[in-house]
Amino acid sequence: MNFLAGAMIAALVGSCIASPGYLKLDLHKQAPLANRLVRRQSSAGSFDAVLTPNQGLEYLVNLTVGTPPQGLAVTLDTGSSDLWIPAASAPFCKKGQCDFGSFDPSSSSTYQVVEQAGFNITYAYPGDTDAGDWGSDTITIDGSAPIDNQQIGVASVLFDHHGVMGVGYDTNEAHNDGPSGVYQSVMDNLVKSGIIDRKAFSLYLNNPEASTGSIVFGGIDTTKYTGDLVALPLQPSPDGVVKEYYVALTGVSFTDSTGKTAPLSPQGYSQATLLDAGTTNTLLTNDVFGALALGFGAVWDAGGTGAYLIPCSLSNGTGTISYSFGGEGGITIQVPLANIVGGQIYTPDDFDDPSGGCMLSMGTTGESGGFSILGDSFLRSAYAVFDLENHVAALAQADENKASTSSIVVFPTGTAVPSATATAMATGTQLTTIKPETQVPEASISGSSLILAGTPTFNLGISSSTAIAGSGPSSLGSSGACNHAPAPTAALVGLGLAAGIMGL
């Protein structure tokens, strides 16, 4: 399979606000960075997927490490649990190619080696391994109070150009030789250090055009959502243990420009689905994705980018995808059509639409298509809460462009999710019978290079004659990163890095 080299946008984290019980960090978008291919693995299996250019916001946390403090930034990832950073001795860093700084252990008086050559994370792309020592040192998170003796991976062998701060479960940590097989993660030590009261956080990515979003460790910002915040029990993996942020997805539908709603999921659908800011696209079971792709008139560009393509003008279309969770008494999150239109891949000269060809920020998990991952193209429409201590998530409809306001409720010790108005108890399982992939039409060529667009079956309220070249919140047209030819054949899934296959 060929892939498109997606252009990442970094989102630096700044403007830390700390008060008793919580730590709030603002998320800021930055310029596109390097590209790479990563295949992600979950408990249900592995799959390939493609990053949509300029949809793949990478959220970076500013850290200091060591004494005296050395500043650097690392990717925030909800799909992993380790903090690792590039070593200054790594060849990339010596050449000045470490995107957001590096760490020199020899310059820190508080650094200690935990296990020499013990750190290793391996991803599915050939050669994609980051490895080095396990160590410990004092860190701060964007100006927070110091956290002493935080275990970190210090990678001197790099494939990726900057590190990761995972905020998942301890059981999802990379292999280490500790007595219990786990160590105190950043989330553990935020509680241990008294910075937050409970191992919980909330995430507000905001829409693609917004300048900022936020994450609140230990609290919920009630100004960032509308309607009810509904708690959902996290679903266990097949071995019966909760290890990742799976919730029960109980329905998917599409409402078109006329207000007509068409159900896309089968009767009785109740599936354990991963909420993961570590994945850019939304990846659905074959039957649901196929219905959406055909409705949008998507075509599969197998011979070029290896991506699903749609006219960029769909970003101005009218329609919403509705995702329902928890069954009766649950919550429905509406995702506008504009949020699933990726960056421009083909100009109007190369694509049979006056607006050009854009990538669809959705896909299927292919042969492993019995599970779903709701990545950033979903989470930008949701306010998401994660309570690791009580194995609960909570969702509400995000109130977009409210980054300038703030009213934070602290997670107290105990079990209640503050501000949650209901708990929906439906459970979901991984599907055992996987339907074959829907045959989305393969892109066809007219003349020497023009790619023919598909025909939507949904009423999207747009005309194919509407010329909006480079349109949409994710267009690369203004950056100069898009030209008449497909980009090199490589791609990234989501935040990359810790979203890959770890050597556990």
241-269 pLDDT per residue, tens: 899 999 999 999 999 999 999 999 988 88
- Element (H or E) spanning 188, and its range? helix 186-192
Sign of CA dihedral 408, 412, 417, 418: negative
Report the SS3 class of residue 316: helix
For residues 373 and 173, what is the distance between their CA atoms, to the nearest angstrom?
20
pLDDT of residue 77: 82
| Cβ atoms within 10 Å of 180's Cβ, excluding its own | 7
Homologous superfamily of 29-199 in CATH?
A: Acid Proteases (2.40.70.10)
Catalytic residue among 77, 133, 352, 376: 77
Q: Where are the domains of the chain?
A: 29-199, 221-479
For the chain, how many residues are written?
504
Domains 29-199 and 221-479 share a fold: yes
Position 210 scores a pLDDT of: 78
The parts of the chain modelled with pLDDT lower than 70 are: 1-19, 28-57, 122-127, 176-180, 365-370, 429-438, 447-449, 463-504
Q: Is 399 a catalytic residue?
A: no
pLDDT at 469: 34
CA distance 477 to 54: 11
Determine the pLDDT at residue 15.
Answer: 58
CATH number of 221-479: 2.40.70.10
291's enclosing H/E stretch is helix 286-296
Q: How far apart are CA 336 and CA 226, in angstroms?
A: 15
pLDDT value of residue 30: 56
User: For 437-446, how does the pLDDT look when each residue is reduced to its tens digit (9 = 90+)?
Assistant: 567 877 777 7
Looking at 130, 142, 188, 276, which residue is catalytic?
Answer: 276
Q: Which two tokens stand for residue 484?
A: 């008449």
170 catalytic per annotation: no
pLDDT for 502: 31
Q: Please answer whether residues 122 and 503 qualify as being in contact, where contact means their C-beta atoms are separated by less than 8 angstroms.
A: yes
Single out the residue of 376, 18, 6 nearest to residue 207, CA to CA. Answer: 376
Q: What's the one-letter identity of residue 123?
A: Y
